[in-house]
Amino acid sequence: MSENALQTLGEFIIDKQDDFQYSTGEFSRLLSAIRLASKVVNRDVNKAGIADIVGHAGMTNIQGEQQQKLDVLANDIFITALSQREVVCGIASEESDDFIDIKCGPNGHLSKYVVLIDPLDGSSNIDVNVSVGTIFSIYRRVTEPGTPVQLEDFLQKGVDQVAAGYVVYGSSTMIVYTTGNGVNGFTLDPSLGTYYLSHPNMRFPEKGKIYSINEGNYSKFPQGVKNYLKYCQMMEGDRPYTSRYIGSLVSDFHRNMIKGGIYIYPSYANAPTGKLRLLYECNPMAFLAEQAGGKASDGFNRIMELEPTELHQRTPFFCGNTEMVEKAEEFMRIDVVKD
């Protein structure tokens, strides 16, 4: 274990408090709640094959998607961990129809933070033992402290995030997060139940050679996306690029940040506004990407500048190496001009 890895997540949070303009004990406790919940979810994910927690839960979420049993379980775990520590005044989850107003303890609604979360991204992969993840986004509330949270506390642009991150449950379990001062990754030592700094100052490589997209939907893609994929596959220079697609945003993003690549989930015939959620998935990943030297776009506009109008708003998503995202945007603009 390297010298950097000997530093625990808790120690790192304390050491970096001065780098975070909103540094408070409350914020540290909030991150600790996410850390605790991730360990519980990790435990359940790792015993999914021998416990009755795989398969459909028999319900659909607000997006009309089949909920997996672990979707529901992870949602409950994170909501419980966050709501019982008096660290947030509101939670919005991809699995819940509406936001949750949290009033706990003698301080009532005095907490300054709201959390938006995708409790188990890529949960359909659980049954086949493929990596899944959790995505979280943290904002300071904009309404008056001491009052119940309102929808406007959650409908904030990505540029207003104070922290964001994800947990990837794979061959090892990692928390990767940013508070606007770079991206750092922490790997869970299961024998001790402790996260250690294993990936300090994570950055996208300058050049990427991986593209991640569900090519099964190729015929439904916008022409600009089709043309970019042809470019990726062309034998020229350092191309063709390699196609890698897991079907879990966390896993695909994590690989591409380490190895260099672009993730694309465009609009298409069956999803004219895209499929990924702006608030739960795209904004936090965009924050991480930009802090790691990458870029995130809807094909034309910076993701973190988009104005949210709905809690479960969707958007096309192009995210990864800056050079690759800009090239994809170029093909998108050319297609629009032709039309």
Which residues are annotated as part of the binding site for substrate? 121-124, 214, 245, 275
Annotated binding site for Mg(2+): 94, 118, 120-121, 281
Cis peptide before 200 (omega within 30 of 0): no
329 neighbors 303 (Cβ within 8 angstroms): no
- Would you mind telling me the total number of residues written for the chain in this entry? 339
- Indicate the helix (H) or strand (E) that contains 138: strand 132-140
Partners of 100 in the beta sheet?
Answer: 91
Measured between alpha carbons, how far is 5 from 28 in angstroms, rounded to an integer? 20
Measured between alpha carbons, how far is 216 from 131 in angstroms, rounded to an integer? 20
Q: Say whether 230 sits in a helix, a strand or coil.
A: helix
Annotated binding site: 94, 118, 120-124, 214, 245, 275, 281
Q: Which two tokens stand for residue 284?
A: 């936090």
Measured between alpha carbons, how far is 299 from 285 in angstroms, rounded to an integer? 15
Residues 6+ apart with CB under 8 A from 93: 75, 78, 79, 100, 116, 117, 118, 119, 280
245 neighbors 212 (Cβ within 8 angstroms): yes
267 neighbors 222 (Cβ within 8 angstroms): yes
Measured between alpha carbons, how far is 230 from 42 in angstroms, rounded to an integer? 39
**Cα end-to-end distance, the chain, whole Å:** 56
3-state secondary structure 242-304: EECCCCCHHHHHHHHHHHCEEEEECCECCECCCCCEHHHHHHHHHHHHHHCCEEEECCCCEHH
- Indicate the helix (H) or strand (E) that contains 226: helix 223-233
Q: Which two tokens stand for residue 156?
A: 């904030």
